[in-house]
Structure 1
Amino acid sequence: MHIAVIGAGMAGLTCARQLQQQGHQVIVYERNADVGGRMGTRQTELGGFDHGAQYFTATSDLFRKEVAAWRKAGWAAPWDGKLVKLDKGVAANAGRSNAKQRMVAVPSMGALGRHLADGLEVRCEQSVTGMERHGDGWLLSVQCDSVPIAATAGPFDAVVLALPADIAARLLQPVSSLAGQVGQEHLEPCWALILGFEQSLDLDYDGAWVEGSRLKWIARDASKPLRRPGEHWIGHASSAWSMEHLADDPERVKEKLLKAFHEATGTHVQPVYADVHRWRYAQAMTTLPGECLWDGETRIGVCGDWFAAGLDGSGRVENAFLSGSALAAAIR
């Protein structure tokens, strides 16, 4: 079949690779300039900053096998950073998260998406804005910044939506009964803080879950394997704070989150580089049961990290991988 995959995050790339291995002709559409979705890395004059997903763990046998293959290929490595809990600047041991090994992509989180996209036809900076029937297949409306009007792509025999639930529901609404199920899920936002310092902050931990702060998480990015040396930190604001300040001016957000970083760490060293990034759809707060959705009659499928995929919790790299893999199997 000729299949369109909309979204080049972990779920979309996983599904696309497996569909192509099955012999299907696959084209991946990605609205951003790079692949990987929330496994993103911001490139700066100081080097890369992993401002999206911070690490991943493997629970299922299928994902453990995949991660082992990534390690063998040199795409992933363990992160043994010291993680703590911070409450009003006081650090307490955070434990080992059920003793599961924390893994990161190398040399950056964003590199994994590029590895997975190798060999696929991926069309970046092309946003799919609509779908319509064309005989037994589908035509897509595709918008890119260089063209003032949407172009038509297709026809495709099947379409995979590997998108945040909020976006997928809008595309599905006029064409598929799957829209009702997808519309039950919503992803909450997250403001990310990106900081580079000229001198060491002399903190004796590499990451922390922060209590009673605008920030819920901070991490020393350079403590991960094969990163560029330097005092590089990432902060993630809480979902509640990010939602409340979703439309705020980025400079104002940066000022507030830098203050929260100083309060949490007890250090007031000023960064030489500071920026923020708004992840509009960052974290699924609930999960849709099952691994994916596939309508064999209309040949439309949906996958993403907001499916339970047999795991306890959502929004993980493992959820996305299992969901994309399950959808490829359903199409087969």
Structure 2
Amino acid sequence: MEKKEVIIIGGGLSGIMAARTLLNKGIKDILIVEKSRSVGGRLATRRIDKGIADHGALFFTVRSSELQKDVERWLEAGWVKRWFGNPYPRYTSVNGMNALAKQLAETIPVKQNTKVSAIRDRRDGPLEVELENGETISADHCVVTAPAPQALSLLKGMEQDELSTISFAPCFVGMFTLEGPSSIPEPGHLDDELPQGVERVVDHHKKGISQSVTVSVYMTGEWSKKNEQFEDNGVLKEIQKVAERYLAEGSEIAGAELKRWRYAEAETVIRKPFIETGCDNRIIICGDAFLREQDEAGRTRFESAYLSGISAGERVAEKRKGI
């Protein structure tokens, strides 16, 4: 059986930041287990023909000193840029948001395309993380960053009253390639005076990340809930009607794709950066729905995931030192 000091379930931003924190504190025997073929979670970018389109997080704002320091480093490295916004600048990756996730995870051991089926925590032995392929990895500590409903399914038999209070709204995103320009004004982002059911519309060419014109249309959680039961083609057809409103004269839609985010944004949050469970509290659960008590924004976002991951990593490091 493979053995690791710390296993992190989920390679989104929280998992990446937990791993980076542990590495910075000298804990090297770690592994991220990620069910997808790439790290990033909702830092997601899709290649469409000659263009690219972000279809998860589009940007992030900064309120904490920790993130501000990292952003200054990322700006210097050329990983991110200021996109728009006042008084809070909206920052975005220069090559799509998934590129930032990959840059942050570059030195972290990751087992991709691997789904976890269960976590076993026996008092007389190590933690055991069971994989769907039949393998088992043991660990001294485990950090779970999966959305609350998925985390609950992995932690069967453990009391998780707090975790069960978190609920999520879905989000449907239509991605469209255009032959010709869009009518979306610079800097390529709209989030007001939109059709009913639409949260935001983005032109990634004007955003500066796509060579060709690609447009993402984000639907609200309420709209997405109402349309969850419909097939992709029907949903995409309705979203395309929105995209067609933003075609410049002579332009047309050349291609369309749909992304369904089942757990897009937490409708309820927990006002602490992580929770502990299992024998001797050696399982830590974190993610964007876990907010620090002093969090002024009060909602899930890039920064809440970032801070929660750091806090979880720091807590594991403390426990490794017996604090």
Give the TM-score taking structure 1 as reference length. Answer: 0.87
Q: Which residue of 2 aligns with 1:85?
A: none
1:42 CA displacement: 0.5
Q: Give the match's secondary structure for 1:160.
A: strand
Structure 1: distance between partners of 2:155 and 2:168? 17
Q: Which AA in structure 1 matches 2:73?
A: A
Q: Which residue of 2 aligns with 1:161?
A: 144
Q: Give the match's secondary structure for 2:264.
A: strand
Q: Which residue of 2 aligns with 1:324?
A: 309
Structure 1: distance between partners of 2:99 and 2:206? 17
1:163 CA displacement: 1.2
Q: Which AA in structure 2 matches 1:277?
A: K
Q: Which residue of 2 aligns with 1:35?
A: 39
1:321 CA displacement: 0.5
Q: Which residue of 2 aligns with 1:294?
A: 276
The alpha-carbon distance between structure 1 residues 185 and 57, as it changes in their structure 2 partners (threshold 3 A), is same
Indicate whether 1:303 and 2:307 are aligned.
no
Q: Give the match's secondary structure for 2:43.
A: coil
Instruction: Quote the sequence identity (%).
Output: 25
Indicate whether 1:236 and 2:218 are aligned.
yes
Q: Which AA in structure 1 matches 2:74?
A: W
Q: Which residue of 1 aligns with 2:265?
A: 283
Q: Which residue of 2 aligns with 1:73?
A: 77
Indicate whether 1:262 and 2:244 are aligned.
yes
Alignment of 1:183-198 (within 5 A): 183-198=164-179
The alpha-carbon distance between structure 1 residues 263 and 199, as it changes in their structure 2 partners (threshold 3 A), is closer
2:26 to 23, 26, 32: 23
The alpha-carbon distance between structure 1 residues 99 and 325, as it changes in their structure 2 partners (threshold 3 A), is same
1:263 CA displacement: 4.3
Structure 2: distance between partners of 1:57 and 1:269? 33
The alpha-carbon distance between structure 1 residues 266 and 287, as it changes in their structure 2 partners (threshold 3 A), is farther
Structure 1: distance between partners of 2:228 and 2:249? 27
Structure 2: distance between partners of 1:67 and 1:252? 40
Q: Deviations 1:75-124 (Å, cap 9, x if unpaired)? A: 111113xxxxxxxxxxxxxxx4x511110012111101111111111011
Q: How many residues align?
A: 307
Give the TM-score taking structure 2 as reference length. Answer: 0.89
Structure 2: distance between partners of 1:326 and 1:253? 39
Indicate whether 1:7 and 2:10 are aligned.
yes
Structure 2: distance between partners of 1:249 and 1:294? 39
1:330 CA displacement: 1.3
Q: Which AA in structure 2 matches 1:55?
A: F
CA RMSD of aligned residues (A): 1.9
Unaligned runs of 5+ in 1: 81-95, 144-149
